[in-house]
Every structure is written in C-alpha cells, then in structure tokens.
C-alpha cells in the first residue's frame, strides 16, 4: 500500500468530500489563500474556489456559529479551528448550539457539522495553546468525537465525520501531521466508522488503551516491554465518543491488566471514564488496579524540561505497566 502523511490523508478526505457533495464547504482562519496554518487544506482553494474554501477573520465564535446556522438550513459545514485551544473562544457554539438543537427542536433540526483541527499539546506552546479538549467535549451529549492517530484513520474518520448527520469533532494532532503510514489507493473509498477501536498490536499480559498522540507512545512502550518479556496489547480507541466498549472489554478479559494512557489531564479525564466502565462491567477479570498515565494536573509550562515532566511519555507508561504487572 502507498504511504502518505497524516496531513495529506486529511487533505484527500477534504477534497473527496467536497467533490462528492456540493453542500460541503470548508471555513476557517487561513484555510484558503494561505493553504492552512498547518497546510492541511493545501490546494483546495485552487480546486474548489473561494465560494467553498472560505477564509475568515479571527472570529471563532462567529464562524462556528455560522456553521451551525448553515447546517440548520441544509449545508454541511466543515469548520477548521486553527487549533482546538482556540475553539474555546467558540465553546458556546460547539457545546450549546450544535449538540442541543436536535433535542430542543423536538427532533426537527439535526446539525450535520464537522469541527476539525489540531488538538492537544504540541511543543512548548505554553498554557493557552496546549489544551487537550477531548475530555471537555466528551461531557456534552449530542457531540461525537474522534481522535485519529494514523494517516489511514485520519482519512477514513474525517470522511465519515463529514457524512454523519450529527455534530462531529475530528481532533487531529499537530505532532502527527508529518507522520507517514499506509493508506488505501486514492480510487478506493475509505470510510472508517465512528466508535470502532483498533487493535494496533496484540499481546497477552497487559492492555494499553491509547488514542491520538499517545498511540505512538504506547507502541514504543510495547516494543520496549517485549524485551523485558512483558507482552503488551495496544488498543487505539480512535473514537472517544461513541466509545468502543466491547473492544475494551474483550482485550481486558484476555490480559487482565490495563493501563490507560491519555493526552488530557487526570481530573475527569478520558481515562477516568474508561476505568469506571471496565470495573463496572468486568471487575472480576482484573488482576490488578487499573493504572492511568496522563498529563500532570497543572497549566502547561513553557520550559521544555517542565513540559516533558507534565506530558505522558513512553517511560512513564513503561513504569506504570511494570507496576501493575509485578503487583
């Protein structure tokens, strides 16, 4: 199979969906003439024109709301946030208007909108620019959230998100944009359903549950652990909501030990939800307490050494795995 970058995979997904459905348009800061702050929309203005690839002023609350309104009357907007840290300026539109409309209108108005852009800490961007927003948005019924970690997932999940009749957040990763991986040939339609985890590596002794930027960490840790004769299974959630609980339970029932490695913060983070579900459904299968590796519960410092101390890492993950394996 051909290998392409995560960035190009997203670009192909956008182009294919724009091509397929004239109601689809892309809107956001620097998406058109500048080809995207991270070049995800490279070439789309030339190909689809300024009516469908739309540069906005720095008005996140305004253009996110425009997206919701346009969706109420039949368009299928793709709204790019330059990063999800800036989506917080539009929080009300994303959590109050988009997901509530269907209920409030008694089923009359669904909102088929995609909010996408990079999410999670990148590198030394400081407290305001490093937010991992998945745990915030996961708290709102009516939103769907996916977190692709590979080029293939990026393409397949984004295309599915655009076709979904609900608001979907595609949380990309700045640190993954240049990573490469196998993706089906361009002429082959690639749709990956929301709510399906993927086993990225099989193992016997412990399940590492991961998503987005923590997937490469988990794979690196699993490889290192093999040398110490610990066989780790790596389960990439791919979607945060809906959550693939059956895949989680199947893996845990096989390994009996779990570490969740998440890119958000520990307090009310994604891992907390997953821990609850596992112990609630298959408590008897667990041979050790569930471990979590996440960020530290502090605003992100700029200093590189401190930032590394805040972030989850393969080393921290390995230590957590060993702790529960020898427990």
Partner 1 sequence: MSSPEQRDEVEMLSLMLLIRRFEERASQQYQAQKIGGFCHLYIGQEAVVVGAIAAIRPEDYLITAYRDHAHALARGTSADACMAELFGKVTGCSRGLGGSMHYFDKARHMYGGHAIVGAHVPLGVGMAFASKYRGEDRVTLCFFGDGAINQGSFHEALNLAALYKLPIIFICENNLFAMGTSVERSTSLQQIVHRAEGYDIPGHVVDGMNFRDVRDQLTEIVNSIRANPHPAFVEIRTYRYRGHSMSDPASYRTKDQLEKYRMDDPITRLRAQLTREGKLTNEQFDAMDKGAKETALASVKFAEESEEPPLEDLYAYTYVSEATVPTAAGAQA
How far is the C-alpha of 300 from the C-alpha of 278, rounded, in Å?
30
The distance of closest approach from Cβ of residue 63 to partner 1 in the complex, given in angstroms and rounded to an integer, is 10
ω before 258 within 30° of 0 (cis)? no
How far is the C-alpha of 300 from the C-alpha of 112, rounded, in Å?
33
How far is the C-alpha of 171 from the C-alpha of 148, rounded, in Å?
7
The binder of ligand TPP chosen from 38, 48, 86, 137 (CB under 6 A) = 86
Determine, following the binding rule CB under 6 A, whether residue 29 of this chain makes contact with ligand TPP.
yes
Cβ closest to partner 1, residue 49 vs residue 299 = 299
The distance of closest approach from Cβ of residue 296 to partner 1 in the complex, given in angstroms and rounded to an integer, is 6
Binding mask 87-126 for ligand TPP (x = CB under 6 A): --x-------------------------------------
Determine, following the binding rule CB under 6 A, whether residue 174 of this chain makes contact with ligand TPP.
no
Determine which helix (DSSP H) or strand (DSSP E) holds 67, and give its type and residue range: helix 60-72
Catalytic one of 16, 17, 29, 60? 60
The distance of closest approach from Cβ of residue 190 to partner 1 in the complex, given in angstroms and rounded to an integer, is 31
Determine, following the binding rule CB under 6 A, whether residue 272 of this chain makes contact with ligand TPP.
no
Stretch that binds ligand TPP, among 82-90, 96-104, 170-178, 298-306 (CB under 6 A): 82-90
Q: Which does 319 bind (CB under 5 to 8 A by kind): partner 1, ligand TPP, none?
A: none
Cβ closest to ligand TPP, residue 127 vs residue 268 = 127
Determine, following the binding rule CB under 6 A, whether residue 211 of this chain makes contact with ligand TPP.
no
Catalytic one of 30, 129, 285, 296? 129
The binder of ligand TPP chosen from 12, 16, 17, 60 (CB under 6 A) = 60
Residue numbers of the site for partner 1 (CB under 8 A)?
29-30, 33-34, 37, 55, 57-62, 85-86, 88-89, 123-129, 296-299, 301-306, 309-310
- Residue 83 · residue 98 · CB < 8 Å: no
Beta pairing partners, 146:
170, 239
- Residue 129 · residue 193 · CB < 8 Å: no
What's the order of all strands across the beta sheet hosting 76-80? 53-55, 24-28, 76-80, 114-118, 168-172, 144-146, 239-241
Please report the DSSP string for 41-61 in residue order. Answer: TTTHHHHH-TTTEEE--S-HH
Stretch that binds ligand TPP, among 81-89, 96-104, 142-150, 235-243 (CB under 6 A): 81-89
Q: Which does 1 bind (CB under 5 to 8 A by kind): partner 1, ligand TPP, none?
A: none
Q: Which residue is nearest to ligand TPP (CB)?
A: 86
- In sequence order, which residues have a C-beta less than 8 Å from that of residue 20 and are 6 or more positions away? none
The distance of closest approach from Cβ of residue 88 to ligand TPP in the complex, given in angstroms and rounded to an integer, is 8
Cβ closest to partner 1, residue 67 vs residue 195 = 67
Active site residue 60: yes
Please report the DSSP string for 172-203 in residue order. Answer: E-GGGTT-EEE---TTS-----TT--EEEE--
The distance of closest approach from Cβ of residue 184 to ligand TPP in the complex, given in angstroms and rounded to an integer, is 34
Determine, following the binding rule CB under 6 A, whether residue 1 of this chain makes contact with ligand TPP.
no
Output phi, psi for 114, to 5 deg. -115, 125
How far is the C-alpha of 74 from the C-alpha of 93, rounded, in Å?
18
How far is the C-alpha of 187 from the C-alpha of 192, rounded, in Å?
16
How distant is the alpha carbon of residue 165 from its chain centre?
19
Active site residue 129: yes
Catalytic residues: 60, 129
Site residues (vs ligand TPP, CB under 6 A): 29, 58, 60, 82, 86, 89
């Amino acid at each position: 199979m051909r290998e392409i970058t995560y960035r190009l995979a997203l670009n192909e997904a956008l182009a294919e969906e724009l091509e397929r459905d004239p109601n689809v348009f892309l809107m956001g800061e620097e998406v058109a003439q500048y080809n995207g702050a991270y070049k995800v929309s490279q070439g789309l203005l030339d190909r689809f024109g300024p009516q469908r690839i739309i540069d906005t002023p720095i008005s996140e609350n305004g253009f996110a709301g425009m997206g919701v309104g346009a969706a109420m009357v039949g368009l299928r907007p793709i709204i790019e946030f330059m990063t999800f840290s800036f989506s917080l300026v539009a929080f009300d539109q994303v959590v109050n208007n988009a997901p509530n409309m269907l209920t409030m209108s008694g089923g009359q108005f669904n909102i088929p909108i995609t909010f996408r852009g990079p999410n999670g800490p990148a590198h030394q961007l400081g407290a305001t620019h490093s937010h991992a927003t998945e745990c915030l948005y996961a708290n709102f019924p009516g939103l769907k959230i996916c977190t692709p970690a590979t080029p293939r997932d990026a393409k397949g999940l984004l295309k599915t998100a655009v076709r979904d009749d609900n608001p979907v957040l595609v949380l990309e990763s700045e640190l993954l944009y240049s990573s490469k991986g196998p993706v089906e040939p361009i002429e082959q339609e690639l749709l990956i359903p929301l709510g399906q985890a993927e086993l990225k590596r099989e193992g016997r002794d412990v399940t590492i549950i991961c998503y987005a930027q923590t997937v490469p960490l988990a794979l690196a840790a699993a490889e290192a652990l093999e040398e110490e004769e610990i066989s780790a299974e790596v389960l990439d959630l791919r979607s945060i909501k809906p959550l693939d609980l059956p895949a989680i339970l199947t893996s845990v029932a096989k390994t009996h030990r779990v570490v969740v490695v998440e890119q958000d913060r520990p307090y009310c983070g994604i891992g907390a939800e997953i821990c609850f579900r596992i112990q609630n459904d298959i408590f008897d299968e667990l041979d050790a307490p569930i471990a979590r590796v996440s960020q530290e519960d502090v605003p992100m410092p700029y200093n590189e050494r401190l930032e590394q101390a805040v972030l989850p890492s393969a080393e921290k993950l390995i230590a957590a795995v060993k702790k529960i394996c020898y427990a």
